[in-house]
Structure 1
Amino acid sequence: MVREVKVGLLGILGIVILYFGFTYLKGSEIFSTSNTYKATFKDVLGLEVSNPVTFNGVNVGRVTNLYPQFDKSEVIVELTIDEDVKLTDNSFAILADDGLIGGKLIKLKIAPGKLLEEDGNLKSMLEVGLVDVMQQKIDPTLKNVDSLTRTLTRIINEFDHTGQALKILLASATQSSDGVNTLVANNSKNIGLVTANAATLTKNLNALALNLDEQIKPILTKTGSFSDSLSALQLGTTINNLNGTVKNLQTMLNQVNAGKGTLGKLAGDDSLYTNLDRTAASLNLLLSDMKVNPKRYVHFSLFGKKDKTKK
């Protein structure tokens, strides 16, 4: 009988130890009272049950459950928080990174407001962690590195093509050099003749230049004599005389315009023009009358003059 009692007590003790151990492993305080709250997130980003809940870096609770809401595409997170923590309806549950390893935790941000009852809903928020910031910075860098890698690959490929082109060019240059050497060897005699002819031509050109120099010198001498003759013509005196003549002519024209002298009177007096015009008109009348009545002015007879009047 005593033995059976001992076995029963040991079994009960094992169950109690198992319960408290499981509760401890879940992150719940065994001998402390706590309250339960909820917060809703679109994405928990790897948050798990038993992850810590902190306030200003102090652990004040645990995540006890996650309830996916498939119809609303969201997740309800159940939080168990120490009874000493007084939350308000303006408090936030912030999903944040737990260090650089990649774990998640819930941070509490308590703001003044009405006291939140147990099982109340906290406002939710996502915190941009260090890993996210580093990822935002690294992503453009990785894109630049990828672009640089592609550019280097393209340059290397172009160098390969350039190297092949250089090989072909060097081979062509070698063939051209060999061809030139062969051409020079085959035509060495002709090249010697061309060189000799060029030397002879140079000598002939030099002799021609000397002859031209001797012929040009007398021409230059005559040119100098012609220049001296032009200087001896005393062009200055001739130009001065011409200027005097022009001045005299100008003086005479001024006198004519002023009505002085015979030419001046003829040029300035209209009576001469009037008399000449009248004389021309009378002469025209006379000529017209002579054409109409020529007998009045001209008398011609082979037998002598007759009387104008009849008896």
Structure 2
Amino acid sequence: MKITRELKTGVIAVLVIALFIWGYNYLKGLNLFDGQIKTYFTEYSNVQGLNTASVVTINGVDVGKVVDIKFNNSPEKRGNLIVEFSVENDFEFSKNSIAKIYSTSLMGGKSLAIVPSYEGETALPGDFLKGEIESDLFSSVSEKLNPLQAKVESVIKSADSLMTGLTDVLDVKSRESLKSSILELNATVTNFKHASANINKLIVNNDEKLTKTLDNATLMTNNLAKLSDTLVNANLGLTIKNIENTVDNLNKVLAGIENGDGTLGKLLTDEEMYINLTNASKELEELLREMKLHPKRFVHFSLFGKKDKGYTPEEEK
């Protein structure tokens, strides 16, 4: 049987088309020779660099590829990205499983990992799995450094404000005054050192005297303790009580005198008695003055027992 040129051309064209289709799907991550392929869907707001032909893994084993990434046309989820991925393995998992985007290297390559769950209804091709994004090293460091960076910037601003304030306050005159104060402080510290050295020297030179003084103080303390014991044994409380009784009696006597009780009280409070005593004192003073000036009026003396003829005013003259 002779094969015509047209047949050869048709066969070659079919093979080229089939090869093209196979190559296109292979580049998309689909191998047409692997039999029936199961595809699932998940959704993200940001795919973090995930692209078609990215590897899909389960527990670290490659089980498929990312087939397609397209925008969600739903008005409620506008801007979200729907990721279609294939699973060439017969491994079964439930609809509660998670499709997580993770970094495969420090260079930022992304892959899709299925975190399987075995509870609930088994996932079928075409089902949607919950999508999550795992923070990579740089994202984690960046998230932790962002608050620290804000705090550092705040501290730097505060330090800058402080330095500006210090510059405004510490003008040339203030800096000179501060320098002078520091020098005076150094001098004070030096003097204190000298004084401390002198005190130490004084203590060393008078160590024996200080020891004696402390011994005397101890002896005095012991004597005071003995005196305290003596006062306690001497029934000091009874003595103080007797003194209190005496003071009470004295207060009663003074109160009686103030109230006019008794002779002394009447003498101090009776005005008439005071006037009488004053008059008697005056009369006694006049009598003594009269006796001093005219003693013959009051004293009569005769050597021979002659009777006194009586006093006449002319005799005084």
TM-score (norm. length: structure 2): 0.45
TM-score (norm. length: structure 1): 0.46
Bigger-Rg structure (1/2): 1
